[in-house]
Each structure stands twice: as C-alpha cells, then as structure tokens.
Amino acid sequence: MRKNFLLKQFVALKAKIEMIGGKKFKFDEESKLLYDGVAPHHEENYFSEILSELDKRLPGKGNISTRFEEFRSQFIIPTELLDTVFTTAISEGRRRTLEYIELPSNENFVVEYVEDKPWGAYNWYKGDNFSVIQVNTDLPIYIDRAIDLACHEGYPGHHVFNALLETNLLKGKNWVEYYVYPLFSPTSLIAEGTANYGIKVAFPGEERVKFEKEILFPLADINPAKADKYYEILHLVDKLGFARNMASRKYFDGEFTKEELVDWLVKYSLSTEERAEKSVDFLDKYGSYIINYNYGQELCKNYIERLGGTEDDPQKRWQLFTELISNPYTPSDLK
C-alpha cells in the first residue's frame, strides 16, 4: 500500500510541476493525474428533472433559484450566534467520534472567522494533533452548514484524518512522507471524500435532524418546526451536486465563458450570483480539485457500504471509516 501510494503521489507531483511550467490539461486529465479519479458525466436533462421536482416542492411560483434563496433565507444563522452554534456542533461531532475512534489525548483545535476567501471553511493542520479551523463569513451561513462544517473540518473529518495519519504512520511507523501533505494529490480525494461522508457517519439518518431541531435551531433562533420541510428541499438540492462539476469541466476546457459558468451555476446549482462568482474564484485557483468533494464522497461511501458499513451497522461503518483514514489508501483502491 505504501509503495502504491507513493507512486500515485509522484504521478501527481510530476503533473503539478508540468502545470507550473505552463502545460495545460483537460479537466478530466488533470483530475486523473492529480487525484487519481475522474468524476462522472451527466447530461443536462438529469439536472432538469431534479429542478422539475423542486419546482413542485418549493413555495411560490417563478424562478426556482430565486424561490430557493427566498425559502432558504429563513435558515441563516445570525452573525452574533454563529460561534455558539458552530462550536456546539463541533462538540457534538467530537463526542460522537470519540465513541468509536481513540484520538491522541492532546488533540485540540481553535476556530477563527475570516473574510475574503474563495472557500467556505478550511482546516489548517499544524501538527502534533492541533488544527486551526477557519470559517469564511463573506456570505450568509445556513443552519445546515453548522454540522456540515463541524464534521467536515473537525470530527470525524480533516482534523481527525490528519491526527490519525500523523499518529499511526508518521510517528508510529516513521513514514517520513507524512511530514508533508501535498494538497494537489490523491490524498485530497480521500481527505475530502471521507470528510463529507463523515457527516453521515457521525449523524446517520434522522439523528441529524433530531439534534438540529432540539439543539441547533433554538441556539440559532430559528423555528425548529420548519426543519422537516427544509431538509426535504435540501435532499433534492443535494442531487444537483454534480452540476458544479459539469459546469466547471466546460469552463476549464474552454467550452464555457465565465458568464456562461455563472449562469449555469445559478440555474442548475441554485447558487446566487455572488456564490457562483465565489465558485469561479475557487475554480480559477484550484482547478479540478472540486471533484474531491462530491465524487470523493461517493467513492468513499460506496466502498464502505459495499463492505458492510451501512447505517444498520454503525460499528462496522465506523471501523471501516477509521481504517480508511488511518492508512495509505488511494482512490483507485476504493473502486
């Protein structure tokens, strides 16, 4: 596994050096070289069918993106309550993670709120089991993002991922390659995929909505009675996840202008124009990295559940999840 992992890392390193030198790859070529994966392609009608269903479920009439934003505006966390809501979500994610994963006794983190970033949140792992988690407050943060970001950046996501790799492989086996984390490498697909899937591992099924109704909604001064309808809508919106990949691929490969990319994201990802502009900033900076979130999640989910780590067997699910974030897996290993 170590040899295969290093070989994949060298493929990514070589490609990144060529890119710095000016070589251009197609979107799928780049993602294969850097992240050992190619996200699936979908036809436009795939997303149109989901939008048709949303059209029936969303209140009001007219433009779906506008109606979604109007509906979602009821669920924005007030700025003055953001830290309380976010740290509460992190604490619960940590509590649930510790039931199944033994973490180093000195693991810790701090949360910072920042502005003017192309991403929504970021985990800066500093080593020795310590992370700085930054949350970007440029745009409104919705109540569902509290658990998403808490799990993705913290527990059982990036913070746990990095701490276990450092503990098990760097310190435990003296595998010196783990002194560094090359961002543009297959490690990122595993890291982002498990961080996203980890949300469902920590808060399976109805447990998430129950916790949010009872704890987070009241803390954010949002009516818990609206939670069920909110998640009914979000469940459909989640199915539009690969729309961003498709649009980014077309933009990256020169088939879309920036304006066409923004229009697609507004229509098929239900972004506001401001959020779509942020997506363009991210794509311009990080390229095909975006596949690591949704395709990475799909790959990790399918792998773990194929081996029996389903919602019905949380012990097995956590066992497989822990193994995946503690060893030198590559995306090809999960197929």
Domain assignment of residue 121, given as a range? 2-334
Q: Is the pLDDT of residue 118 over 90?
A: no
* In the chain, % of residues over pLDDT 90: 94
Query: What is the band of 27 on the pLDDT scale with cuts at 50, 70, 90?
Result: very high
Domains: count for the chain:
1
Let me know: does 121 contact 135? Beta carbons within 8 Å.
Answer: yes
Beta bridge partners of 113: 135
CA distance 33 to 7: 11
pLDDT, mean over the chain: 95
Query: What is the band of 172 on the pLDDT scale with cuts at 50, 70, 90?
Result: very high
pLDDT of residue 294: 95
Q: What pTM was estimated for this model as a whole?
A: 0.94
pLDDT of residue 13: 97
Residue 127: HSE in the Cβ half-sphere, 13 Å Cα cutoff: 6
Q: Is the pLDDT of residue 217 over 90?
A: yes
pLDDT of residue 328: 96
* In the chain, % of residues over pLDDT 70: 100
Query: What is the band of 178 on the pLDDT scale with cuts at 50, 70, 90?
Result: very high
Q: How far is CA 122 from CA 100, 185, 263, 281, 327, in A?
A: 24, 17, 27, 15, 22
pLDDT of residue 275: 87
Q: Is the pLDDT of residue 170 over 90?
A: yes
- Kindly state the DSSP code that residue 257 receives in the 8-state scheme: -
Q: Is the pLDDT of residue 286 over 90?
A: yes
pLDDT of residue 139: 85
- Average of pLDDT values for 239-253? 94
- Average of pLDDT values for 261-273? 92
pLDDT of residue 120: 87
CA distance 83 to 92: 14
What are 250-253's contacts with CB under 8 Å, separation 24+?
A: 251/280, 251/283, 252/26, 252/27, 252/30, 252/283, 252/287, 252/288, 253/26, 253/27
Q: What is the pLDDT of residues 287-320, one digit of tens each?
A: 999 999 999 999 999 999 999 999 999 999 999 9
Q: What is the pLDDT of residues 126-166, one digit of tens each?
A: 999 999 999 999 989 999 999 999 999 999 999 999 999 99
Query: What is the band of 119 on the pLDDT scale with cuts at 50, 70, 90?
Result: confident
